[in-house]
Amino acid sequence: TMLWISNGGRDYAPWSGRHRGVLGIEDGRTALGHAASLGDNWLKREGVATAFTLGEGRNVSFRHVIGALPSSGGEPPRDITT
């Protein structure tokens, strides 16, 4: 589990530097970087895959994906009600 605090460092859309003062909590399975995840690592030795091969005839399932889409009206929301 990774904890992070946003400082507005992503200055590109959709964040545009407005993402500040937010505590992020994310699950991940990585062996401290791309190269380590591809090679031998402690997670792989415990039976946890840290990388996968994409290719024709192979299927990969994701339980959690983060993404963004432009709003249909072109304007960002002024308020979000839950």
The continuous run of DSSP H or E covering 7 comes out as strand 2-7
CA 36 to the chain's CA centroid: 18
Using one digit for the tens of pLDDT, what is the confidence trace for 9-41?
Answer: 888 888 888 888 888 888 777 777 788 888 898
Structure confidence at residue 82 as a pLDDT band (50, 70, 90): low
Domain boundaries, the chain: 1-70
Structure tokens at 82: 């839950």
Distance CA 60, CA 5 (A): 30
What predicted TM-score, i.e. pTM, was given to this entire model? Answer: 0.40
Using one digit for the tens of pLDDT, what is the confidence trace for 38-68?
Answer: 889 888 899 988 888 888 999 888 777 666 6
Per-residue pLDDT, 69:
63
Distance CA 25, CA 1 (A): 7
Per-residue pLDDT, 77:
64
